Amino acid sequence: MSKTLVIVESPAKAKTIGRYLGDEYVIKASKGHIRDLPQKVMGVNTAKNYKPMYIDSPDKADVIREIKSLASKCDDVLIATDPDREGEAIAWHIAYMLKIDPRTKCRITFNEITKNAVQNAVANPREIDLNVVDAQQARRVLDRLYGYELSPLLWKKIQKDLSAGRVQSVATKLVMERDDEINAFEPKEFWKITADVSQQGSKLKKDRFQVEFYGVKKGGSVEKVALNNESEANAVLDQVKGNDMTVVKVTKTEKERKSSAPFTTSTLQQEASRRLGFAPSRTMSVAQMLYQGVEIKDQGQIALISYMRTDSVRISKEAMDAARKLIVDKYGKEYLSPYKREFKNKNSAQDAHEAIRPTHFEFDPETVKSSLTSDQYKLYKLIWERFIATQMASVRLDVTEADICCGDNVFKASGEIVKFDGFLKLYADLREGSGTTKTVELPSVSEGEILTNHNVEATQKFTQPKPHFTEATLINEMEKNGIGRPSTYAPTISTIEKRNYVEKEGKNILITEIGRVVTIFLQEHFEKEMDVGFTADMEERLDSIENGDANWVDVIDDFYPDFHAQIDRVTKNTERITIEDEKTGEKCPECGHDLVFKNSRYGKFIACSNYPDCTYSRNIENKLDGTPCPLCGAGINILKSKKHRNKIFYACDKTGSDPECSFISWDPPAKDKKCTACGSFMVYKKFRGKTYLRCGNRDCSTNTKPKKS
307 is catalytic: yes
Helix or strand run (H / E) with residue 398:
strand 395-406
Q: Is 709 a residue whose pLDDT tops 50?
A: no
Q: Name residues whose C-beta falls within 8 Å of residue 69's C-beta, 6 or more positions apart in sequence.
A: none
Lowest mean pLDDT among 54-58, 505-509, 565-569: 505-509
> 406: closest CA among 332, 456, 361?
456
CB half-sphere exposure, 20, CA atoms < 13 A:
21
Model confidence pLDDT, tens digit, residues 53-66:
999 999 999 999 99
Q: Is 306 a residue whose pLDDT tops 90?
A: yes
pLDDT given for residue 437 in this prediction: 42
Model confidence pLDDT, tens digit, residues 255-281:
999 999 999 999 999 999 988 989 899
Q: Which amino acid is at 378?
A: K
Q: How far apart (Å, rounded) are the C-alpha atoms in residues 412 and 405?
A: 9
Query: Where residue 551 falls among pLDDT bands split at 50, 70, 90?
Result: very high
pLDDT given for residue 646 in this prediction: 55
Task: Indicate the pTM of the whole model.
Answer: 0.80
Model confidence pLDDT, tens digit, residues 136-194:
999 999 999 999 999 999 999 998 889 999 999 999 999 999 999 999 999 999 999 99
pLDDT given for residue 670 in this prediction: 87
Instruction: Choose, from 146, 307, 335, 501, the residue flagged as catalytic.
Output: 307
What the chain holds in terms of domains, given with CATH numbers, is: 4-128 (3.40.50.140), 138-184+467-573 (1.10.460.10), 189-258+395-462 (2.70.20.10), 265-389 (1.10.290.10), 580-620 (no CATH)
Distances 609 to 156, 243, 591, 617 between C-alpha atoms, Å: 20, 70, 10, 10
Q: How far apart (Å, rounded) are the C-alpha atoms in residues 228 and 213?
A: 13
Q: How far apart (Å, rounded) are the C-alpha atoms in residues 589 and 610?
A: 12
pLDDT given for residue 431 in this prediction: 43
DSSP 8-state code for residue 112: S
- Greater confidence (593 vs 677) lies with 593
Helix or strand run (H / E) with residue 386:
helix 374-389
Model confidence pLDDT, tens digit, residues 179-203:
999 999 999 999 999 999 999 988 7
pLDDT given for residue 326 in this prediction: 96
Q: Is 708 a residue whose pLDDT tops 60?
A: no
What is the C-alpha radius of gyration for the chain, rounded to an integer number of angstroms? 31
pLDDT given for residue 481 in this prediction: 92
Distances 123 to 106, 120, 225 between C-alpha atoms, Å: 11, 5, 70
Query: Where residue 346 falls among pLDDT bands split at 50, 70, 90?
Result: confident
**Over residues 73-95, mean pLDDT:** 95
**Over residues 312-334, mean pLDDT:** 94
Dihedral sign of CA atoms 625, 626, 632, 634 in order: positive
CB half-sphere exposure, 542, CA atoms < 13 A:
21
Model confidence pLDDT, tens digit, residues 630-670:
888 888 888 776 555 556 788 887 775 456 788 888 888 88
Q: How far apart (Å, rounded) are the C-alpha atoms in residues 299 and 509?
A: 42
Vertex 285: Cα angle to 8 and 428 (nearest 5): 125
Q: How far apart (Å, rounded) are the C-alpha atoms in residues 115 and 78?
A: 17
- How high is the mean pLDDT of the chain? 89
Q: Is 445 a residue whose pLDDT tops 60?
A: yes
Q: Which long-range contacts (CB under 8 A, 24 or more apart) does 548-553 make?
A: 548/131, 551/134, 552/134, 552/135, 552/137, 552/138, 552/141, 553/49, 553/50
Q: Residue 580: how many CB atoms within 10 A of its CB? A: 7
Query: Where residue 135 falls among pLDDT bands split at 50, 70, 90?
Result: very high
pLDDT given for residue 416 in this prediction: 87
**Over residues 614-619, mean pLDDT:** 87
> 255: closest CA among 424, 396, 413, 425?
396
Q: Per-residue DSSP letters for 260-309?
A: PPPB-HHHHHHHIIIII---HHHHHHHHHHHHH-EEETTTEEE--B--S-
pLDDT given for residue 433 in this prediction: 36
Q: Return the SS3 of 189.
A: strand
Q: Is 283 a residue whose pLDDT tops 90?
A: yes
pLDDT given for residue 693 in this prediction: 84
Q: Residue 24: how many CB atoms within 10 A of its CB? A: 12
Lowest mean pLDDT among 2-6, 56-60, 230-234, 616-620: 616-620
Q: How far apart (Å, rounded) are the C-alpha atoms in residues 490 and 679?
A: 44
Q: How far apart (Å, rounded) are the C-alpha atoms in residues 614 and 598?
A: 14
